[in-house]
Amino acid sequence: MRWAFPSRISNSVSAFSVRTLVEKNMREEIERKLNLTAVDIYGLSEVLGPGVSIECHEAKKGLHIAEDHFIPEIINPNTGEVLPYGSTGELVFTSITKEAFPVIRYRTRDITSINPEPCICGRTLVRMNKVSGRSDDMLIIRGVNVFPSQIESVLMEMEGVEPHYQLVVDREDNLDILTVMVEVGEKVFSDKVKPLQDLEKSISKNIKETIGVSAKVKLVEPKSIARSEGKAVRVIDRRKI
C-alpha cells in the first residue's frame, strides 16, 4: 500500500490511496481512526503517476479523470474495438499535454468503465469506476506488480525444481498475503525434513530478491495443483475488493 502525503482540502484532511485497491472497510477504518476523509486516486507511472484521476469529496462515486490532460477510452481488450461510455473494458489513455514522454492510446491493462453523467460536485470531467481487474495476469501484491511468469522463471532457475506452481493471494488484516505452492518432484525430495524446509526458504528468498515481494512457499504433492481442461490454474486470488 502506498500513500501520498495527506493534504488539507476545504478544512478536511484527506488521504489518498494510489492505484492499489483499497477495500471499503479498510477505507472506513482509516477514516475513523485518523479522523480524515479518504479518497481514491488513480495513476500509473507510465502515464503520470498518481493524479490521472481522483474521487471528489462530495460524491466519492467514481474517479474524475483529468480530461484536460488525458483522453480516456475503453476498449475491448481482445479486439481493440472502442466501446461506448458505460461499457466495461480496458482503459486506454492518450496524453495531450505531456511533452517529454507522451503516450498515444496507451493500454493500461486495467479493467473498468467510464461514466459521463454529471456529478453532484459540479465537475464535468468523466468518472472512471474502480478498477475491477486486469486484462493480463498481473497481480498487485502490497503495491508490487507481480506477473506469474516472474515466479515461474525464479523456479526454473533453481536446480531440480520443476515449474509446477500456483499462486494463492489472500488478504489478512488488510495486508496481501502471497503463498506460492510448489509441487515436489523426485529431484528435490528428501527422506529428511530439513532439506525440504531449506528448499522452501531458498525459493522464498529468491522470490524476494528477484521480484521484491515476500511470499510464503508451501511444498505440495505432485499433480495436486488444480488443472482446468488440462491447464494448471496458476492464480487463485481470494481477495475481496
Partner 1 sequence: MRVEQISIFLENKSGRLAMVTKILSDAGVNIRALALADTSDFGVLRLIVDNNDKAREALKSSGFTVGKTNVVAVEVPDRPGGLNNILEILHRANVNVEYMYAFVRQSGDNAVMIFRFDNTDEAIRLLETNGITVINGSKLYAM
| Binding positions for partner 1, rule: CB under 8 A | 184-186, 189-193, 196-197, 218-224
C-alpha cell at 164: 509446477
From the list 116, 118, 52, the residue with the least C-alpha distance to 84 is 116
Which lies closer to partner 1 via its Cβ, residue 177 or residue 196?
196
Smallest gap from Cβ 85 to partner 1, in A, equals 49
Q: Which is nearer to partner 1, 33 or 187 (CB)?
A: 187
User: Across the strands, what pairs with 228?
Assistant: 231
Taking the mean position of all CA atoms in its chain, how far away is CA 77? 17
Cα 75–Cα 236–Cα 49 angle in degrees, nearest 5: 45
Q: How far is the CB of 163 from partner 1 (least distance, A)?
A: 16
Sequence-ordered list of residues with C-beta below 8 angstroms from that of 106, at least 6 positions apart, any chain: 46, 47, 92, 93, 94, 95
Please identify, using beta-carbon distances, which residue of 108 and 166 lies nearer to partner 1.
166
Non-local CB neighbours of 32 within 8 Å, separated by 6+ positions: none
**In the complex with partner 1, which residue's Cβ is closer, 25 or 197?**
197
CB of 166 to partner 1, least distance (A): 13
* Distance in Å, CB of 179 to partner 1, minimum: 10
Give the nearest distance from C-beta 204 to partner 1 in angstroms.
Answer: 13
Nearer to partner 1, 96 or 233 (CB): 233
Contact 197, 128 (CB under 8 A): no
Amino acid at 192: K
